[in-house]
């Protein structure tokens, strides 16, 4: 730390007292896009007429989804990203100065300007929905589900809103899923959501006692795929030869190269002892040494997207069982 302070001091003296001040003011602009916020700031007054030396900014904000600080260096005075509106939004900006004023090294302002925005305190205590989650079934339709809070009034009504960049404004769920008259989920079959795009969701609600606490979520649906169940695997058996199991990828548009599988092999000996083994594989076949006499071998498979195609995935349901 010390040497850089010394350098800075030397430069201030040499450059006739140029001080690098932090930006004047930071604003957080919420256009109602469910957590997509724009941060803007103004240059420090002391540098506003600075012609000969380039100015940049170092933006730091706490990313509530990644749970870490994001640091951006930019010449612009604005930046947008996704925030969880139910958590504090914390943004800091430093000024950076270079050119002849600083002997061509980048000097950062000693201080930063900061803004912290607390979540809105509206909404009945603990009334927000729980376990919100979406599943992109076989890459064909997205269904999002949630659980109503047990602490929310019985006569409350729930709403789901969503937004992504191509939409001008938030839209309400096209097709609610209800159970016993309570909204439990939303079906996007009729209005498919885009993949590789942040899709922001908000589930909020109203009740005679007041509004419910909103719940926010931002996801990219390609990371929430659940492949369809595979057809029953096929077993090829030749006396004395290994058992050869093979199966087809699930029907639908998930590319075969995106799938990985798990085979569950159950071996039952004549005494009725079970031995269960789960074998991960990228292939659509599996070989097992020849079966012993009176031994029963059963197989089923399931699939999910591999890490080359998605950051996450759900396992499909197990196929039906094939036995020998």
Ligand X SMILES: *[C@@H]1O[C@H](CO)[C@@H](O)[C@H](O)[C@H]1NC(C)=O
Given the complex with ligand X, which of 41 and 161 has the nearer CB atom? 161
With binding defined as CB under 6 A, does residue 202 bind ligand X?
A: yes
Report whether 211 contacts 58 (CB < 8 A).
no
Given the complex with ligand X, which of 100 and 240 has the nearer CB atom? 100
Q: Which of 62, 65, 106, 159 binds ligand X (CB under 6 A)?
A: 159
With binding defined as CB under 6 A, does residue 194 bind ligand X?
A: no
Given the complex with ligand X, which of 134 and 202 has the nearer CB atom? 202
Least CB distance to ligand X at residue 35 (A) = 10
For residues 25-51, one letter each, b for 16 or more C-beta atoms within 10 angstroms of the residue's C-beta and e for the rest, the string is: ebeeeeeebbbbbebbbebbeebeeee
Q: Which of 42, 170, 266, 284 binds ligand X (CB under 6 A)?
A: 170
With binding defined as CB under 6 A, does residue 119 bind ligand X?
A: no
Burial status of residue 125 (CB atoms within 10 A of its CB: 0-12, 13-18, 19 or more): exposed
Q: Which of 58, 64, 142, 204 binds ligand X (CB under 6 A)?
A: 204
Q: Per CB under 6 A, which of residues 85..104 are in contact with ligand X?
A: 103
Report whether 262 contacts 302 (CB < 8 A).
yes
Strands 141-147 and 130-137: antiparallel
Least CB distance to ligand X at residue 296 (A) = 57
With binding defined as CB under 6 A, does residue 207 bind ligand X?
A: no
Q: How far is CA 88 from CA 84, 85, 116, 299, in A?
A: 8, 7, 7, 50
Binding map of ligand X across residues 264-293, x = CB under 6 A, - = no contact:
------------------------------
With binding defined as CB under 6 A, does residue 161 bind ligand X?
A: yes
Given the complex with ligand X, which of 99 and 211 has the nearer CB atom? 211
Least CB distance to ligand X at residue 9 (A) = 12
Q: Which stretch binds ligand X (CB under 6 A): 202-210, 243-251, 267-275, 297-305?
A: 202-210
Least CB distance to ligand X at residue 76 (A) = 27
Candidates 243, 265, 257, 237; CA nearest to 303 is 257
Question: Would you tell me how many other CB atoms lie within 10 Å of the CB of residue 235?
Answer: 18
Q: Per CB under 6 A, which of residues 22..41 are in contact with ligand X?
A: 32
Q: Which stretch binds ligand X (CB under 6 A): 200-208, 256-264, 268-276, 299-307?
A: 200-208
Plot region of 222 (φ>0 → left; ψ -120 to 50 → alpha; else → beta) = alpha
Report whether 183 contacts 158 (CB < 8 A).
yes
Number of residues that bind ligand X (CB under 6 A): 11
Which value, in Å, is the radius of gyration of the alpha carbons in the chain? Answer: 29
Question: Would you tell me how many other CB atoms lie within 10 Å of the CB of residue 177?
Answer: 15
Residues that bind ligand X (CB under 6 A): 14, 32, 103, 159, 161, 170, 202, 204-206, 211
């Amino acid at each position: 730390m010390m040497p850089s302070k010394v350098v800075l001091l030397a430069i201030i003296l040499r450059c006739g007292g140029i001080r690098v001040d932090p930006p004047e003011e930071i604003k957080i602009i919420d256009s109602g896009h469910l957590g997509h916020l724009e941060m803007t700031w103004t240059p420090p007054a002391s540098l506003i007429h600075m012609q000969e030396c380039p100015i940049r900014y170092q933006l730091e904000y706490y990313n509530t989804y990644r749970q870490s600080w994001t640091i951006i260096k930019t010449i612009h005075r604005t930046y947008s990203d996704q925030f969880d509106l139910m958590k504090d939004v914390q943004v800091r900006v430093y000024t950076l100065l270079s050119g002849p004023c600083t002997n061509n090294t980048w000097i950062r302002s000693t201080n930063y300007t900061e803004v912290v925005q607390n979540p809105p305190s509206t909404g009945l205590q603990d009334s927000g929905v729980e376990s919100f989650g979406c599943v992109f079934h076989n890459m064909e339709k997205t269904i999002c589900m949630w659980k109503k809070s047990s602490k929310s009034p019985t006569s409350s009504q729930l709403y789901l809103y969503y937004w992504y960049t191509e939409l001008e404004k938030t839209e309400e769920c096209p097709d609610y899923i209800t159970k016993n008259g309570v909204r439990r989920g939303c079906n996007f079959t009729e209005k498919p959501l885009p993949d590789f795009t942040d899709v922001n969701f908000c589930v909020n609600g109203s009740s005679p006692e007041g509004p419910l606490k909103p719940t926010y979520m931002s996801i990219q649906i390609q990371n929430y795929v659940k492949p369809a169940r595979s057809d029953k695997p096929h077993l090829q058996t030749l006396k004395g030869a290994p058992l050869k199991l093979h199966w087809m990828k699930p029907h639908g548009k998930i590319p075969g190269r995106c799938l990985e599988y798990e085979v569950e092999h159950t071996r039952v000996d004549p005494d009725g002892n079970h031995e269960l083994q789960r074998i991960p594989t990228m292939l659509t076949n599996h070989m097992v040494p020849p079966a012993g006499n009176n031994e029963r071998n059963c197989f089923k498979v399931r699939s999910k997207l591999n890490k080359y195609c998605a950051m996450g995935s759900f396992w499909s349901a197990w196929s039906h069982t094939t036995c020998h």
